[in-house]
Amino acid sequence: MANSAVQAVETRSHSLSRNLALIVGASLLMDILGRFSVPLPISPVPLTLANFGVLLIALSLGARRAAAAMCLYLAQGALGMPVFSPAGPGGIAQILGPTGGYLMSYPLAAFVAGWIVDRGKQSVARFSFAAIVGEILLFVGGIGYLMALTHVSVRVAANWGLYPFAFGEVIKVIAAVAIASRLGSSSKWPSLLA
């Protein structure tokens, strides 16, 4: 009886350690991807790889771990760590600036996309659907906040925060789905997440 209790505690401890390592690792990946950006002269929002990171992490880690990693990423940025696009002011000012709606949408988009993946058999179709829903949430949050911040119409906000990014976002979705599908079919990845 005592052995069972000790084994249960060890299993929970190992599981907690593994989850923390995955969350911190995913946040570090976001730290790196968020720094890759290109300012656009036609938009207050830079082109960045962070959206790709949100999708890849959500599809690979599932809802709770992905949302936790996004919250950790935002906390790091809010504290002034250089994790956001260098095109912005950094820190809390970046979260409250033109890119704030996208940034604040990361945890929700990651959770919802991960939740879709968690709720069924992993397949390219499920990954694709989850990634598209995640992208929609990211852009609804980003454009909605951009409208509120700058007091512009939906059309102008979409011209600034959606249209310049559409082609790149399609590529990011395809890449995230391909990598997550490959990880999911790997023999070691599912056991790491268990």
pTM for this predicted structure: 0.90
Burial environment of residue 94 by CB neighbours within 10 A (0 to 12, 13 to 18, 19 or more) = buried
The pLDDT, as a whole number, for residue 185 is 75
pLDDT, tens only, 80-101: 999 999 988 999 999 999 999 9
**Of 15-19, 151-155, 183-187, 188-192, which gets the smallest average pLDDT?**
188-192
Residue, of 10 and 36, whose pLDDT is higher:
36
Kindly write down the DSSP assignment for every residue of 64-120, as one continuous string: HHHHHHHHHHHHHHHTT-TTS-TTS--HHHHHHSTTHHHHHHHHHHHHHHHHHHHTS
Q: What is the pLDDT averaged over residues 101-124?
A: 96
Half-sphere exposure of 191 (CA within 13 A, CB side): 3
Structural domains of the chain, ranges and CATH numbers in brackets: 2-193 (1.10.1760.20)
